[in-house]
Amino acid sequence: MSFCNVCGKEIPPGASFCPSCGAQVVTSAESVAVPVSQQDTMPLKKKSVMLATVLGFLVAGLGHFYLGKWKRGGLWVIGALILWAMIVYTSPSYLLTAGLIIGIFSAFDARKTALKKYS
Ligand SMILES: [Zn+2]
Cα 30 to averaged position of ligand 1 atoms, centre (Å) = 18
- The per-residue pLDDT for range 27-46, each reduced to its tens digit, is 555 445 555 555 556 678 88
**In sequence order, which residues have a C-beta less than 8 Å from that of residue 1 and are 6 or more positions away?**
10, 13
Q: How many CB atoms lie within 10 A of CB 13?
A: 7
- Per-residue pLDDT at 97 exceeds 50: yes
Cα 79 to averaged position of ligand 1 atoms, centre (Å) = 52
Can you tell me the mean pLDDT for 75-82? 95
| Residue 93 DSSP label | G
Q: Which helix (DSSP H) or strand (DSSP E) does residue 11 occupy?
A: strand 10-11
Quick one: pLDDT at residue 24? 85
Cα 85 to averaged position of ligand 1 atoms, centre (Å) = 58
Quick one: pLDDT at residue 89? 93
Residue 12: which pLDDT band, with cuts at 50, 70 and 90? Answer: confident
Cα 10 to averaged position of ligand 1 atoms, centre (Å) = 8
Cα 3 to averaged position of ligand 1 atoms, centre (Å) = 8
Q: Positive or negative CA dihedral for 108, 53, 79, 90? A: positive
